[in-house]
Every structure is written in C-alpha cells, then in structure tokens.
Chains A and B, each alone.
Chain A
Amino acid sequence: MRIKNQKATIHEGDLTPMIDMTFQLIAFFMVLINFTDTDPDQRIQLPSSVLAKPPDTALDIPITLQLTKEGQVIIGGEEWTIDDVKSKLTSEKQFLEYQQKSATDATVIVRADKVAKTGLVQKLVEVCQEAGFEKFALRAEQEQL
C-alpha cells in the first residue's frame, strides 16, 4: 500500500476578535464589580418599598446589622444574639472614639428580614441606643413600579 507523504501544516486561527471580546467582557465585569465590606446575607429577604432609593452619597460611618427571621444578628459575617450585640457595639464605639470620632456620627444600618418580628427589630435598635448610637437607617429593597 502506498502511503502518501503528508506534510504537516499549522493552521493559525485569527485570535484578534476573540481577544477583543474577552477584553470587553473583562471591562464589563470590572466596572460592575463592587467589593463591599459587608456582604448582604442571602438568608435575609428585605421588605420592599417604592421609596427605597439608593442614597446619592455614601454614609460616613456605616455599621450594618443584619437580623434574620429567627432573631440572629449578623455583624461582619459573625452571628450574635441580640443581647450579645451590645458588647460588640461597645467595642465599635471605643474604636470610633480612638479615631477621634463619636458614636453619634455613625449610622446603624438595620437590614432585617421582612418576616422578622418587629419587636426584635425594636429591641435591636434599643440595644444600639444603649450603646450610644442615635442614627439609624432601616434598609429596604427598591420596589419596581
């Protein structure tokens, strides 16, 4: 049997369009990505409101407390009971005072689940008040009209 002498040839595809698209995808994700300190916990489903618009300017000193429907408080990924939150907030207050700031300048953002008991939300607010915090922001999800 006669074997033909097949000469190997290298086919180089044109990579330019693929690289163009890839760079565009990278640019898209880079623009939209946000590295926030406090990741919203997936267990919490916020109540919705038509008036809940994202603020124009970022809060100066935000402290985010997330309340699950079971009554657990999540601060920076750690779970606390409402009664134990005061010690954590006291240390936050001391840290603010160390930075020549006051607890009254900070805003406590309350991200509570929509079926959490209102009494627990108010209890959490009271604990914050006892720790010296005055400004609160009740967070809600923007409702589409």
Chain B
Amino acid sequence: MKIRNRATGAEDTALQMTPMVDIVFQLLVFFMMSFKIVTLEGDFNIKMPLSNVNQGPVDDTLLRLDVRLTAYETGELSGVYFNDQKLGSDNPFDELHAEVMLLAGSQGTQNSAEDMEAKFTCDFDLHYRHVIQAITAVTGKISEDGKIVKLIEKISFARPDQQTDSG
C-alpha cells in the first residue's frame, strides 16, 4: 500500500475571523442601542365596575372608610380627612396608615382588613402622586423582613370635587 507523504503538501489553514467579528460587533451595537434602563414598576389593582361609580359599595358587610384629600389651586395637598376627621400631623399619610392599622387591629378577626373598603374623594386639581401616597397608606406596609403586608385591598373612588382650597 502506497502511503503519500502528506507533510510535503500540507498548508496552514487559517480561519478567516474578520466576517465573524464584523457580525458579532453588529449584533453588539444592535443590542446596545436597543437596551433601555427602566425602573421597576408595580400596580395597585382596583376593580371598579360602572354600576358602583355613584352608588357606593353594594355589600353592606363591608366596613367603609372615607378618605378625603383636598388640594390647593396649585395641586398640592392641603388636607387629609379620615372619616370626616382631619389628620393634623406633619405627615398625614403616616397618621392615616396608623388609623387604618388601629382599625384593622381593633376589629380582630370579625372585621379584618379584608372586610374593609376605602373610598377616596379627591379634589379635581390634586396632584396624582398624593393619591398614590394615600393608597399606599391604606393598602399595606413593608414588614421588617421586606415583605408586603396587605391591608385594605378594596378601593373605590368618588366623583372628583371641582372645588379646591384657595390658600
């Protein structure tokens, strides 16, 4: 059997890296341009059928809490009322949260936070962030271990009040 001498005809075969590097860089540029840094977002879920807009809660077993937010003409918060009582501290939302916690705790198992509904009445010009602050105060808290403890989950809105405080 004849064995060819391969050593004499062997040539170095160098792979052409250039096309692959070109494509790889194009992919890199594409992903870099498409990349967006976004902050994490979450939702407050609210179920509000049309029939309940003006009629209020149908379920009589629910303990209804009225939260009223008033605003200056500029849209800044002028007052927070909880069951027609004005919360007078420097941070009314902390006070609102304390009131809700007190109610949820004092009612025991018979009227837990699940049996409560918070109805918000807000001035028309009020900045939306204050509404989110109020919803945050009544819907839950962050426990020491970083978990969310839910309070009132049923939330509804009354029709907005056109009147605002002139101060």
| Residues of chain A having any CB pair with chain B under 8 Å | 15, 19, 22-23, 25-26, 29-30, 32-33, 35, 40, 46-55, 104, 107, 109, 112-119, 121-123, 125-126, 129-130, 132, 134-142, 145
In the complex the two chains form, what is the Cα distance from A134 to B130 in whole Å?
23
Q: Which of B21-29, B98-106, B111-119 contacts A (4 or more CB under 8 A)?
A: B21-29
Given A15-B17, A117-B126, A118-B127; A25-B28 close (CB under 8 Å):
yes
Given A51-B136, A138-B46, A145-B142; A30-B21 close (CB under 8 Å):
no
Q: Mark B45-86, 1 if CB is under 8 A from A, else 0.
A: 111111001000000000000000101000100000000000
Q: Is the CB of B46 within 8 A of A136?
A: yes
Task: Bin the interface of chain B by size.
Answer: 35 or more
Given A51-B148, A55-B42; A136-B48 close (CB under 8 Å):
yes
Nearest opposing residue in chain A for B51, CB measure: A129
In the complex the two chains form, what is the Cα distance from A46 to B125 in whole Å?
17
Nearest opposing residue in chain A for B124, CB measure: A119
In the complex the two chains form, what is the Cα distance from A118 to B120 in whole Å?
11
How distant is B164 from chain A, measured CB to nearest CB, in Å?
10
A–B Cβ pairs within 8 angstroms, 6 of them: A29-B35, A33-B35, A51-B136, A118-B131, A119-B123, A140-B44
In the complex the two chains form, what is the Cα distance from A129 to B44 in whole Å?
17
Nearest opposing residue in chain B for A22, CB measure: B24
Residues of B within 8 A of A25 (CB): 28
Question: For the complex, is B96 an interface residue (Cβ under 8 Å from A)?
Answer: no
User: A47: which of B24, B122, B128, B159 is its contact (CB, 8 Å)?
Assistant: B128
Given A51-B140, A130-B50, A138-B135; A116-B43 close (CB under 8 Å):
no
User: A129: which of B53, B69, B127, B141 is its contact (CB, 8 Å)?
Assistant: B53
| Residues of chain B having any CB pair with chain A under 8 Å | 17, 20-21, 24-25, 27-28, 31-32, 34-35, 38-50, 53, 69, 71, 75, 122-133, 135-136, 139-142, 148, 157, 159-160, 162
How distant is A52 from chain B, measured CB to nearest CB, in Å?
3
Q: Is the CB of B49 within 8 A of A129?
A: yes
Residues of B within 8 A of A33 (CB): 31, 34-35
In the complex the two chains form, what is the Cα distance from A134 to B45 in whole Å?
11
Q: Is the CB of B75 within 8 A of A52?
A: no
Residues of B within 8 A of A47 (CB): 128-129, 131-133
Residues of B within 8 A of A52 (CB): 40-44
In the complex the two chains form, what is the Cα distance from A125 to B32 in whole Å?
37
User: A29: which of B24, B32, B124, B132 is its contact (CB, 8 Å)?
Assistant: B32
Residues of A within 8 A of B159 (CB): 122
How distant is A106 from chain B, measured CB to nearest CB, in Å?
12
